[in-house]
Amino acid sequence: MSIDRLVQSWSEVRTGLINEASQIPEGQFSFRATPETRSVAELLQHIVQTQKLLVGEACRENTDLMRQSFADQIQEYAPDVAGITEKNGLLELLRSSWNPQRLQFVTVAKACSRK
């Protein structure tokens, strides 16, 4: 799969996620299916945090997902995401975090493919 196709698929999935999340009533963003599971808001936070972590780490010259704990990497790459808990803030975060991450990933991936 080419980098462009990968990013296009990633973008389509992200758009679908935003569309689906937009349909969830704000009062349901704190809903948990069971006490042990994440709420809707926490799932969306997790998606953004993980994207920032994976893109940030993949774009490092010395990529190493094992260099620190997941919690420490989230603190490094997405420290303020957990503070956004309301629907509109999370939807905006999903929208606004995509383009910078996409551009960073494409730039590094294409540079690596030329080596």
Each residue's pLDDT, cut to its tens digit, for the chain (115 residues) gives: 677 888 888 889 999 999 999 999 999 999 999 999 999 999 999 999 998 898 888 777 887 888 889 999 999 999 999 999 999 999 999 998 887 777 777 777 767 665 5
Residue pair 106/8 in contact by the 8 Å Cβ criterion: no
What is residue 114's predicted lDDT score, i.e. its pLDDT?
59
Token representation of residue 114:
């030329």
Give yes or no for a contact between 108 and 2, defined as CB atoms under 8 angstroms apart: no
pTM of the model: 0.85
The per-residue pLDDT for 92 is 94
Q: How far apart are CA 22 and CA 35, in angstroms?
A: 24
Distance of CA 47 to the CA centre of its chain: 4
- How does DSSP classify residue 85? -
Q: Taking a C-beta distance cutoff of 8 angstroms, is the pair 66, 57 a contact?
A: no
